[in-house]
Chains A and B, each alone.
Chain A
Amino acid sequence: MNDMTIEDYLAQGGKLTSPGNVPPRYRGELLRLMASFVDSELAGAAGFADTINDAPGIGNRIAAAKITAEKLDHAGRVLAVMGEFGADTRRYDDRHEWAARVARDADLAAARRGDDMRLSVFHYPVQGYVDAVVLNVLMGLATVVQLDEMKRVSYAPLADTFREIAPREARHVELGLNGLRQIVARDDGRAEAVAAIQYWMPKVEATFGQAGSKRFDTLARFGLRHTENEKLRQIWTQRVRDLLLPMGLA
């Protein structure tokens, strides 16, 4: 009744559903992928936390607090999936200084650094409220594009988790755009926003990885990736332009 290998099954779009039925190599790539998301959310939240105090007005401070809290919650949800693979979820969070950052003018390109799996953009320090809002909008848009891709992963419990997370991450972008509209209403705010966009654009762009990445082929074979890095980068670039143009920022 069943002579299909797991590899064939995955190649045909099959879904895996528990740690008991994932092949070893798949498991490693899946855990790595989850660790990258968890570490990025934890580092992102740690970097954004100061914004709660920096934001002008109670409404903006609530928005910053909500974004910070939900990013931590999203990290917790994906970490729970890792926990089903034996990862020590309690100890996991203690492994790193999530708020640690490199110098503002350091050049990491897309390289990972230290021994956590956060995306390189989360190694750069945020400088003040406008900077944080710009990073939140640009990286938030990237996260939405990346989650659209990740909702399709072949590990069903993770795909379900990403489907729960995606609308809330999209809401973070909306909150960020509200903040950005307030900022650009003032001339000095606009100048600051333009400088922040210049600083963060290439760093967020780098999070999409290299064109023609070798790992992509492995991940695609496992059904862990579907759309190439370059294509995702283009979708993101287009969305950034569509949103920033009306504000005179693109």
Chain B
Amino acid sequence: MSRFLPLQITDIRRDTRDAVVVTLRPRPEDAAAFDFTQGQYLTFRHSFDGEELRRSYSICAGRDEGFLRVGIKRVDGGAFSTWANEELAPGMTIEAMPPMGRFFTEINPSAARQYLGFAGGSGITPLLSIIKTTLSREPKSQFTLVYANRGINSIMFREELEDLKNSYLGRLSVIHILETEGQEIDLFTGRIDAEKMTALFENWIDPASVDTAFICGPEPMMLTIADSLKKAGLDEAQIKFELFASGQPGRAKKKAVSKDAVHAGDMTEAVVTLDGATRAFRMPKQGESLLDAALAADMDVPYACKAGVCSTCRAKVLEGEAEMAINHALEDYEVAQGYVLTCQCYPLTDRIVVSYDE
């Protein structure tokens, strides 16, 4: 089961107008849990008006830097990224799950490989981690980064990349593609499309020499680049993807129903068993799912999607009746056995007994 652990913010700095770089430190006893691999991400959680939001951000530190660091770009209307950009300060504690993700290849200190990376905007964060780690741990390998941004002011980690180029002379090259600013070379102006990829392959990058390509950016960019790489002869196993979190809904939701508005007769006594322990609490029949009510009663019940599809929140109704608003996960026979997805479960009777243990 996913477990959140506290991380202390040791440093925070503004990188561009709408992005901050946050350095974090786990408690000594959690250090092993946060021993990350380059290219992995952290999932954070924070409560907004009682509604918990979870967001994932890629680690941008190299494995040899001795700290955890993420870059958080503010998204318009994004509750979490706005909060991170405006409220976070050194000394604060934030909760995160241990690192996850497979956006990396194994490092081999004796290998002499050619890596190619494509980053769009804040898609640079995992690539920065990969680049730093590769340069320091695989001394014979070289890295070419193609980095797409709107304009020069929105380039995250611009100086850090320059410093890396100078520290590892001849081993890192960076090609900036800027959407809105003309550059000396036309090829480097505009968006990355199939035509630009062809031109890059003709003049700047030899696809035949590439061992592994990493792509992190928005969907259309990923499709275009992957398609061009495959046409240039790379196979699926050579192309590593990380889609950044554009698919995540941004705003915290309002509470559906105010508890004061519910009449006493509309309440249910819920008796919920989890890990052998049983708790009873009162909850409204409408407006709040059984899962949310159990969470509000401080029970650490399992859940993931809260959308009725992943079945992580499955529990069995032992007494009473309930209805499910949505069910994309449970088969008919499970429903017949009394199983419900608690995130979609609304009690119909004045008392309901539910177990997560069965």
- CA A21 – CA B55 in complex, angstroms? 10
By a CB distance below 8 angstroms, the chain A residues around B237 are 160, 163
- Taking CB atoms, residues of chain A closer than 8 Å to B219 are 2, 4, 6, 8-9, 14
| Closest chain A CB from B83 CB (angstroms) | 17
In the complex, are the beta carbons of B101 and A18 less than 8 A apart?
yes
Residue A86 at the chain B interface, CB threshold 8 Å: yes
A12 contact set on B, CB distance < 8 A: 223
* 16 further contact pairs, Cβ within 8 A, besides A15-B241, A86-B1: A2-B220, A9-B223, A12-B223, A13-B226, A13-B227, A17-B241, A18-B243, A19-B56, A21-B244, A21-B245, A21-B247, A28-B305, A86-B312, A152-B236, A157-B101, A160-B237
Q: Is the CB of A17 within 8 A of B101?
A: yes
| Contact (Cβ within 8 A) A1 B1 | no
Given the interface contacts A14-B222, A85-B310, does A24 sit within 8 Å of B240 by beta carbon?
A: no
Are B329 and A32 neighbours in the complex by a CB distance under 8 Å? yes
Given A6-B247, A32-B329, A156-B240, A15 contacting B1 (CB threshold 8 A): no
Residue of A nearest to B307 (CB): A24
Q: Say yes or no: B247 contacts A86, CB within 8 Å.
A: no
Q: Among B102, B248, B302, point to the contact of A157 (Cβ < 8 A).
A: B102
**Contact status of A28 and B247, CB under 8 A, knowing A6-B219, A18-B100:** no
The answer to whether B328 touches A21, judged by C-beta atoms less than 8 angstroms apart, is: no
List B residues 287-317 near A (Cβ within 8 Å): 302-305, 307-312
Contact A28 B1 (CB under 8 A): no
**Bitwise interface map of B from 146 to 184 toward A, beta carbon under 8 Å scored 1, else 0:** 000010000000000000000000000000000100000
CB-based contact B304/A19 at 8 Å: yes
Give the residue among B246, B305, B334 with the most A Cβ atoms within 10 A. B305
Among B243, B302, B328, the residue within 8 A (CB) of A16 is B243
For the complex, give the distance between the alpha carbons of A12 and B55 in Å: 26
Min CB distance, B277 to chain A, in Å?
15
Q: Is B6 positioned at the interface, with any CB of A under 8 Å from its CB?
A: no
Residue of B220, B240, B331 near A4 (CB, 8 A) is B220
How near does chain B come to A77, taking the closest CB pair, in angstroms? 11
| Residues of chain B with a CB closer than 8 A to A87's CB | 304, 312
Residues from chain B with Cβ under 8 Å of A22 in the complex: 247
* Contact size range, B: 35 or more
Question: Is residue A27 within 8 Å, beta carbon to beta carbon, of the partner chain?
Answer: yes
Alpha-carbon distance between A121 and B240 when the two chains are bound, in angstroms:
35
Size range of the chain A interface in the assembly = 35 or more
Q: Does A88 have its Cβ within 8 Å of any Cβ on chain B?
A: yes
Q: Does A31 contact B (CB under 8 A)?
A: yes
Chain A 117-136 interface 0/1 with B at a Cβ cutoff of 8 Å (1 = within): 00000000000000000000
CB of B311 within 8 A of CB of A28, answer yes
Question: Given B179, B227, B242, B329, which contacts A18 in the complex, CB threshold below 8 Å?
Answer: B242
Q: Is the CB of A115 within 8 A of B334?
A: yes
Given A4-B218, A18-B100, verify A86-B303 contact (CB < 8 Å).
yes
Q: Footprint of B on A, CB under 8 Å?
A: 1-2, 4, 6, 8-9, 12-25, 27-28, 31-32, 83-91, 112, 115, 151-152, 156-157, 159-160, 163
Interface flag for B41 (CB, 8 Å): yes
> Chain B nearest CB: distance from A210 CB in Å?
16
Alpha-carbon distance between A87 and B305 when the two chains are bound, in angstroms: 11
Q: How far is A94 from B312 in the complex, measured between Cα atoms in Å?
A: 15
CB-CB nearest in chain B for A15: B241
Complex contacts, A89 vs chain B, CB 8 Å: 1
> Bound state CA distance, A31 and B307, in angstroms?
14
Q: Which residues of A contact B43 (CB under 8 A)?
A: 20
CA A22 – CA B222 in complex, angstroms?
15
Question: Cβ of A27 and Cβ of B309 under 8 Å apart?
Answer: yes
A–B pairs, 6, beta carbons within 8 Å:
A17-B241, A22-B247, A28-B305, A31-B310, A112-B331, A163-B237
With A15-B241, A21-B245, A31-B310: A90-B1 Cβ-Cβ less than 8 Å: yes
Residues of B within 8 A of A27 (CB): 304-305, 307, 309-310
The answer to whether A17 and B150 have CB atoms under 8 Å apart is no
Roughly how many angstroms separate A6 CA and B218 CA in the complex, as a whole number?
10
- For the complex of A and B, list the 4 residue pairs with the smallest distance between their C-beta atoms, beginning with the closest: A28-B309, A86-B304, A24-B307, A2-B218
A20 touching B220 by the CB < 8 A rule? no
Is the beta-carbon distance between A24 and B309 smaller than 8 angstroms?
yes
A18 touches B56 (CB 8 A): yes
Q: How far is the CA of A151 from the CA of B179 in the complex (A)?
A: 35
Contact B310 A159 (CB under 8 A): no
Q: What sequence of 0s and 1s flags, for each residue 327-354 of chain B, a beta carbon within 8 Å of any chain A beta carbon?
A: 0110101100100000000000000000
Q: In the bound complex, what is the Cα–Cα distance between A22 and B56 (angstroms)?
A: 12
Find the B residue at minimum CB distance from A8. B219
